[in-house]
Amino acid sequence: MSEDFILYNDTLEFEGFQNFQHFMDENMSILGHYILENKNSKIIVPDIIGSKGTKYYNSATKEILRVLGLQEKVTIVNSCERNNKYRESTWKWTPAKSIFYNKLRDNLPSFDTGPKKVYIKRTHGNLESGDIGGHSTPVRRIVNEDEFCEVLISKGFEIFDFHDKSFEYKKSILQNAEEVIMQTGATAINLFLCEKAVSVTLLTNDVFRMGGYFFNFLPNKHITRELCFESLDKDKFTDNLGLPNGVDNCNFNVVINKVFPRVACMFPNH
């Protein structure tokens, strides 16, 4: 077992929800080392993790291993202990992580055309449904998103939802995009698929600030910003562990005139 590469996820064990960002956070350095060292050993994946019995070998896990071409190396087990030999800090960018993302991106087809101005909705973030769960209602939601989308469309943006979409689909949207706006959250990890974007804006409440982390995934230099807006109804939310005062999960309103002046200055012809 010591030569095997074990994929695991602490988020599942303690919080009981899973999406592909959590899988990547925990395992991209492990899979990067696997690719770098051209391993022929098994990749061990537990079927269930944690006291809540959360499904781990799910659509998110399968999708990543499919694109990497590693599904045939996988052995499913009922349970196992994690092996920290190849695990690296979530917040530190390392060569193994770069190898993982380069391999994931390069294994996908290239697209010569695609939308130039992209807004990605976060309609399924932290919903209690199947593979992605943890909350019975959406959290970190843009309350005035319908109004915001109307303004986006008037400015030439196209609206997309990446929930349950393949990496091929997501790359077809992001590869040629020049302006990208999305919420801070798991779907922002798809920024590694951007190649031409010169403006990337993440939207969040005034507590859940992780733009500095997600901007690591951009493959080239871009003009980036994370815009934070006042959290709403702080007393109604719990955090990801079910504890009170989970203000990082609060919904918020986008102040629209805070989003677009900079875009207008950067792109005066748009």
Look at residues 68, 83, 106 and tell me which one is the last residue of a structural domain. Answer: 106
**Confidence at residue 127, expressed as pLDDT on a 0 to 100 scale:** 43
Same domain, 17 and 102: yes
Same domain, 58 and 128: no
**Confidence at residue 37, expressed as pLDDT on a 0 to 100 scale:** 81
Q: Which residues of the chain have pLDDT under 50?
A: 1-2, 13-17, 126-136, 241-245, 264-270
Same domain, 80 and 150: no
- Structural domain total, the chain: 2
**Confidence at residue 177, expressed as pLDDT on a 0 to 100 scale:** 95
Tokens encoding 187 = 């779907």
**Confidence at residue 54, expressed as pLDDT on a 0 to 100 scale:** 67
**Which amino acid is residue 262, in one-letter code?**
R
Same domain, 160 and 39: no
3-state SS, 132-152, equals: ECCCCCCCCCECCHHHHHHHH
Same domain, 168 and 216: yes
Residue 126 lies in a domain: yes
Residue 251 lies in a domain: yes
**Which amino acid is residue 239, in one-letter code?**
D
Rounded Cα distance between 146 and 150, Å, is 6
Same domain, 101 and 229: no
Same domain, 191 and 156: yes
Residue 111 lies in a domain: no
Same domain, 151 and 258: yes
**Confidence at residue 87, expressed as pLDDT on a 0 to 100 scale:** 79
For the chain, report the end-to-end CA distance as a whole number of angstroms.
57
Residue 112 lies in a domain: no
Same domain, 144 and 219: yes
Residue 211 lies in a domain: yes
**Confidence at residue 156, expressed as pLDDT on a 0 to 100 scale:** 95
Residue 219 lies in a domain: yes
Tell me how far the alpha carbon of residue 126 is from its chain's centroid.
Answer: 12
171 contacts 146 by C-beta, under 8 angstroms:
no
- Predicted TM-score (pTM) of the model is 0.83
Please report which helix (H) or strand (E) contains residue 34, including its range: helix 20-36
Same domain, 88 and 121: no
**Confidence at residue 148, expressed as pLDDT on a 0 to 100 scale:** 94
Same domain, 86 and 138: no
Look at residues 82, 106, 130 and tell me which one is the last residue of a structural domain. Answer: 106
Look at residues 39, 71, 106 and tell me which one is the last residue of a structural domain. Answer: 106
Same domain, 183 and 206: yes
48 contacts 55 by C-beta, under 8 angstroms:
yes
Residues of the domain holding 237: 117-266
Helix, strand, or coil here: 18?
coil
Residue 135 lies in a domain: yes
